[in-house]
């Protein structure tokens, strides 16, 4: 023990002077940097996380975009045509006393697949009903009528792929072409009319025609109401999305990871620090004071070691359904005494006999002074090493509770991402990104702390390192 | 001393598993509801006047609550529960039933135990042996590449819970390779032939088994390695080497023998712990063992089952510690003197 470092400064020194220690620090710094990008996203993301309305412009269960780099394909990306990007044409027909508004969206589409969804949001500002028609024009000039109906005023969301009216219109269109088989609406909308008629649908891109032409969505609304107005938004949702893909509720997994990082690290660090320090202090007291105090602390520790920790924690969490921070308090309360108490005690027993303690006693240092200023610093490196291994353990503990459905109800934590992936059947349907990406981050954090621990362990247990 | 530990730990479990009396309150409310709804359906009850009805209702509820002993304060009842638990009168489950329809907690636990023992005890035995072997190899060249690699692996797998591997393995082996089933105990419908049935169960056991072994053996190897290296540093080993004994003889007679007691302690404790099952791993694999039972019991606030499982476990733990004390003196004669 004589060469072991004393105090925080020398612990840092040891970490920064070993390869594994530096590697650990670098990984942690990278994760923290990633989580700093959280600033880019709107700050009410935590409230929005569980609000399905907030994620309508994201595709459902889309793989990350970079997967196209390996597959070599060019599957569709998400294209959003916003309200202000529609070309607007207002016509007043005096003899009929009506206003006719035409909205036109142009989309240059050059991907290999149809989008996963085609959704149109229409907002009719009117006092009376209006005549609404929606048409889809392909680059080859052919037109499919999606809707023609009398619409009530208000907001209307048309999920074209699953909308009943759209489906019957598309079927009527197919029958006119003489196609008897029923095709997915996405295929019909994105194949050239010729190929549809020939029975082998082939996707048509904007650049397949010379000169290249975009796809067009035309929304026409007519009403006699005063102050009549109409707005539309077109969402072409991709098959791939962003850096980390999306989950079954269209949420961007990247945002979840970025926001989960500080939560995971804060939970892990606080739990590890507090639990280890408390256990270490009790261990030092037990070892240094000895006799009755020692006996009492050791017996309490025995009780704590027998307690079924996870069962009790699950019970508490289930009955009181608390947030992650009250859970933190429960975790600390259930681990006031434990393994560290035992091992620090045995170390304190050794340190107690050393000459410098005797010297301190001889010049009249109080017991408390000796304990906190002379003995505890000597045990600090061990304590610190223990903190580094327990941080990932607590990060995983949160994940474990999430898997059982007992995680924090509101926050997007890493554990919740994984548990939602599991309960969402990601392993059964092969949505690998949903599981693998959050898992990678959680394992990265564990690895970082394991590396830190390794750099400390070499110094703490020199006997175990060399022949 | 052990007995006091056991009693205090059991008492704490009783209090927490009952939610500090919250579960009893839920029960009392349940009784109130049941009694009210039965009485309201009774035509003769409806013929009574308002005041009489009120009185009769209160009477019935009080009787029912008294019959269950719920009218005593929780402190008193917690000690009754404690005595019951310690004398292994585990009582009746509130919600969960065994497959045979029994509500006795002991029946439910005994029914679930074989599945857990079959899976986790097998896994524990395999990973202990594998761990000891790998640990010995690591100890041969401390600081070598294999040693450093395994140490790193041990620390990382040491903090990653097994269910985490479970999910990843399900994705790889069940979804992509389609080698193993997604979980469960037997196929549905289960084969009627006993031999085929056994093979089917084993087939379902492979993936959980692999998961548990991979998650546990590196850390276990690391523990073994540390114990062995510490023994190698002892003077009597140097002495044996100096006598010119062969390397394997030194390892077997002078290193392994004194290293055994701590290794055996760890194996025994791991075995006992394995009987408690692993709540989340069993849930992920849909394995019908004690862990899954605990999860079910907790989620249906079935306090008697939670307490029952915890108490049985605590007893097993204490028994093991006692047995270990005896084995120790056999393995390490030095302890008999001291």
CA distances from A220 to A142, A169, B209, B241 (A): 17, 16, 63, 95
Summary mean pLDDT of chain B: 83
3-class SS string, B148-181: HHHHHHHHHHHHCCHHHHHHHHHHHHHHHCCCCC
Q: Which residue has the higher pLDDT, A15 or B116?
A: B116
Q: How far apart are CA A465 and CA A20, in angstroms?
A: 15
pLDDT at B335: 58
Helix (H) or strand (E) holding A89: strand A87-93
Six token digits for residue B332: 């390490």
Query: Which pLDDT band, with edges at 50, 70 and 90, does B336 fall under?
Result: low
Residues A267 and A315 in one domain: yes
* Structural domain harbouring A175: 76-237
List residues bridging with A92 in a β-sheet.
A99
Is residue A66 in a domain? no
Torsion angles phi and psi, residue A465, rounded to 5: -100, -40
**Count of structural domains within chain A:** 2
What is the rounded average pLDDT of the residues B55-71? Answer: 82
Q: Which of B143, B159, B317 lies at the smallest CB-CB distance from A466? A: B143
Beta-carbon separation of A403 and B168 below 8 A:
no
Instruction: Please tell me chain A's helix, strand, coil percentages from 3-state DSSP, rounded to the nearest 5.
Output: 55, 15, 30
Q: Using a CB-CB distance cutoff of 8 angstroms, which residues of chain B are in contact with residue A418?
A: 164, 167
Return the residue of B nearest to A455 by Cα.
B152
Q: How far apart are CA A116 and CA A76, in angstroms?
A: 8
Q: How far apart are CA A151 and CA A158, in angstroms?
A: 12
Return the residue of B nearest to A457 by Cα.
B151
Is residue A303 in a domain? yes
What is the pTM (predicted TM-score) of this model? 0.82
Do the Cβ atoms of B81 and B14 come closer than 8 Å? yes
Do the Cβ atoms of A449 and B127 come closer than 8 Å? no
* DSSP assigned state of A245: -
Q: Residues with Cβ < 8 Å from B332, sequence gap 6 or more?
A: B258, B260, B261
Return the residue of B nearest to A436 by Cα.
B168
Six token digits for residue A349: 């027993």
Peptide bond into A346 cis (omega under 30): no
Q: Which residue has the higher pLDDT, B41 or A40?
A: B41
pLDDT at B276: 66
**Total H helices, total E strands in chain A:** 18, 9
pLDDT at A3: 47
Do the Cβ atoms of B123 and B209 come closer than 8 Å? yes
Q: How far apart are CA B200 and CA B198, in angstroms?
A: 5
Beta-carbon separation of B159 and A393 below 8 A:
yes
Beta-carbon separation of A403 and B280 below 8 A:
yes
Residues A426 and A320 in one domain: yes
- Domain boundary, last residue among A178, A207, A237: A237
Residues A384 and A449 in one domain: yes
pLDDT tens track for B129-177: 999 899 988 988 888 889 989 988 998 888 888 888 998 999 899 888 8
B1 touches chain A (CB under 8 A): yes
Is residue A70 in a domain? no
pLDDT at A146: 92
pLDDT at A214: 92
Query: Which pLDDT band, with edges at 50, 70 and 90, does B33 fall under?
Result: confident
The C-alpha of A186 sits at a distance from chain B's nearest C-alpha, in angstroms, of 28
Q: Which of A303, A396, A427 lies at the smallest CB-CB distance from B159? A: A396
Do the Cβ atoms of A218 and A148 come closer than 8 Å? no
Residues A233 and A266 in one domain: no
Q: Residues with Cβ < 8 Å from B99, sequence gap 6 or more?
A: B111
Is residue A46 in a domain? yes
CATH at A22: 1.10.3720
What would the DSSP string read from start to end of B218-243?
HHHHHHHHHHHHHHHTSHHHHHHHHT
Beta-carbon separation of A314 and B159 below 8 A:
no
pLDDT at B321: 74
Query: In chain B, which among 64-123 make CB contacts under 8 A with chain A?
Result: none
Residues A45 and A185 in one domain: no
Query: What percentage of chain B has pLDDT greater than the value 70?
Result: 96
Q: Which residue has the higher pLDDT, A447 or B68?
A: A447
Residues A288 and A436 in one domain: yes
Q: Which residue has the higher pLDDT, B97 or B330?
A: B97
Residues A358 and A420 in one domain: yes
pLDDT at B16: 78
Is residue A59 in a domain? no
Residues A345 and A448 in one domain: yes
pLDDT at A1: 40
B19 touches chain A (CB under 8 A): yes
Do the Cβ atoms of A328 and A271 come closer than 8 Å? yes
Coil vs helix vs strand at A98: strand
Beta-carbon separation of A306 and B226 below 8 A:
no
B211 pLDDT more than 90: yes
Beta-carbon separation of A430 and B22 below 8 A:
no
Beta-carbon separation of A427 and B182 below 8 A:
yes
pLDDT tens track for B221-274: 998 888 888 888 888 888 888 888 888 888 888 888 788 877 887 788 787 777
Is residue A173 in a domain? yes
Location of structure tokens 């985490």: B164
What is the rounded average pLDDT of the residues B3-18? Answer: 77
Q: What is chain A's pLDDT, residue by residue, as a tens digit (467 residues)?
A: 444 556 677 777 878 888 888 999 999 999 888 888 776 766 667 677 888 888 888 898 999 988 888 888 888 889 999 999 999 999 888 888 888 999 999 999 989 889 999 999 999 988 888 999 999 999 988 999 999 999 898 888 889 899 899 999 999 999 888 888 888 898 899 998 888 888 888 889 988 888 889 999 999 999 888 888 899 999 999 889 888 899 988 888 988 888 888 888 889 999 999 999 999 999 999 999 888 999 899 888 888 887 778 878 887 887 777 788 888 999 999 999 988 898 889 888 888 888 998 899 999 889 889 988 888 888 888 888 889 889 998 998 888 888 887 888 778 888 889 888 988 888 888 899 999 999 999 989 988 998 888 888 777 766 555 43
Q: Which of A311, A393, A465 lies at the smallest CB-CB distance from B306? A: A311
Q: Which residue has the higher pLDDT, B19 or A391?
A: A391
Q: Which residue has the higher pLDDT, B4 or A103?
A: A103
What would the DSSP string read from start to end of A108-151?
----SS--SEEEEEEEEE-SS-EEEEEEEE-TTS-EEEEEEEEE
Return the residue of B nearest to A406 by Cα.
B299
């Amino acid at each position: 023990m004589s060469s072991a470092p004393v105090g925080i400064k020398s612990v840092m020194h040891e970490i920064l002077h070993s390869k594994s220690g530096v590697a650990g620090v670098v990984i942690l710094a990278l994760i923290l940097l990633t989580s700093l990008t959280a600033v880019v996203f709107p700050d009410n993301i935590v409230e929005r996380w569980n609000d399905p309305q907030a994620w309508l412009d994201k595709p459902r269960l889309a793989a990350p975009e970079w997967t196209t780099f390996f597959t070599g394909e060019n599957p569709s990306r998400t294209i959003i045509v916003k309200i202000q990007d529609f070309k607007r044409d207002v016509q007043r027909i005096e003899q009929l006393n009506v206003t006719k508004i035409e909205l036109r969206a142009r989309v240059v589409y050059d991907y290999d697949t149809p989008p996963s969804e085609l959704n149109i949001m229409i907002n009719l500002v009117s006092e009376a009903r209006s005549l609404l028609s929606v048409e889809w024009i392909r680059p080859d000039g052919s037109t499919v009528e999606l809707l023609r109906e009398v619409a009530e005023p208000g907001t209307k969301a048309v999920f074209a792929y699953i909308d009943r009216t759209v489906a019957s219109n598309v079927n009527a269109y197919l029958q006119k072409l003489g196609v008897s088989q029923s095709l997915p609406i996405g295929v019909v909308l994105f194949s050239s009319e010729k190929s549809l008629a020939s029975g082998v649908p082939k996707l048509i891109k904007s650049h397949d025609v010379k000169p290249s032409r975009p796809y067009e969505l035309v929304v026409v609304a007519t009403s006699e109401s005063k102050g009549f107005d109409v707005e539309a938004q077109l969402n072409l949702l991709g098959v791939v999305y962003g850096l980390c893909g999306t989950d079954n509720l269209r949420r961007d997994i990247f945002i979840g990871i970025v926001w989960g990082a500080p939560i995971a690290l804060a939970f892990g660090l606080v739990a590890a620090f507090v639990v280890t320090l408390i256990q270490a202090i009790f261990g030092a007291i037990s070892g240094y004071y000895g006799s009755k105090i020692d006996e009492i602390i050791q017996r309490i520790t025995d009780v704590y070691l027998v307690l079924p920790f996870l069962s009790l924690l699950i019970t508490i969490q289930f009955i009181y359904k608390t947030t992650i921070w009250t859970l933190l308090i429960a975790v600390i309360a259930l681990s006031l005494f434990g393994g560290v108490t035992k091992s620090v005690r045995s170390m304190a027993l050794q340190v107690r006999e050393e000459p410098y303690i005797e010297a301190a006693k001889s010049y009249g240092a109080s017991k408390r002074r000796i304990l906190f200023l002379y003995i505890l610093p000597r045990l600090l490196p061990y304590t610190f090493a223990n903190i580094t291994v327990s941080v990932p353990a607590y990060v995983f503990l949160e994940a474990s509770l999430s898997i059982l459905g007992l995680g924090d109800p509101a926050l997007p934590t890493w554990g919740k991402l994984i548990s939602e992936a599991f309960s969402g059947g990601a392993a059964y349907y092969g949505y690998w990104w949903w599981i693998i990406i959050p898992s990678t981050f959680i394992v990265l954090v564990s690895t970082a702390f394991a590396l830190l621990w390794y750099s400390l362990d070499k110094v703490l247990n020199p006997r175990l390192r060399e022949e | 001393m052990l007995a006091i530990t056991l009693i205090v730990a059991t008492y704490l479990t009783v209090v927490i598993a009952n939610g500090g009396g919250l579960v009893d309150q839920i029960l009392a409310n349940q009784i109130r509801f049941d009694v009210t709804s039965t009485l309201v359906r009774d035509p003769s009850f409806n013929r009574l006047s308002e005041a009489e009805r009120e009185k009769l209702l209160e009477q019935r509820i009080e009787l029912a609550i008294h019959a269950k002993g719920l009218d005593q304060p929780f402190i008193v009842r917690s000690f009754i529960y404690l005595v019951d638990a310690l004398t292994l009168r585990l009582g009746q489950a509130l919600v969960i039933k065994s497959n045979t329809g029994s509500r006795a907690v002991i029946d439910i636990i005994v029914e679930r135990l074989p599945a857990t023992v079959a899976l986790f005890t097998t896994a524990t035995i395999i990973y202990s042996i594998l761990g000891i072997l790998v640990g010995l190899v690591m100890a041969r060249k401390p600081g070598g590449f294999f040693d450093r690699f395994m140490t790193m692996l041990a620390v990382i797998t040491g903090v990653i819970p097994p269910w985490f591997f479970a999910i990843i393995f399900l994705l790889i082996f069940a979804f992509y390779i389609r080698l193993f089933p997604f979980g469960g105990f037997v196929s549905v419908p289960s084969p009627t032939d006993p031999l085929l049935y056994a093979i089917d169960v084993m087939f379902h056991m492979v993936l959980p088994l692999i998961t548990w072994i991979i998650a546990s053996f590196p850390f276990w190897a690391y523990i073994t390695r540390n114990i062995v290296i510490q023994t190698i540093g002892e003077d009597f080993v140097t002495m044996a080497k100096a006598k010119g004994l062969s390397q394997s003889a030194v390892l077997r007679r002078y290193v392994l023998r004194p290293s055994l007691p701590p290794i055996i302690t760890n194996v025994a404790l791991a075995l006992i712990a394995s009987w408690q099952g692993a709540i989340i791993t069993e849930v992920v694999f849909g394995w019908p063992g004690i862990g899954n039972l605990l999860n079910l019991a907790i989620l249906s606030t079935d306090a008697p089952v939670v307490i029952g499982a915890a108490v049985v476990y605590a007893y097993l733990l204490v028994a093991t510690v006692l047995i270990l004390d005896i084995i120790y003196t056999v393995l390490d004669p030095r302890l008999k003197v001291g």
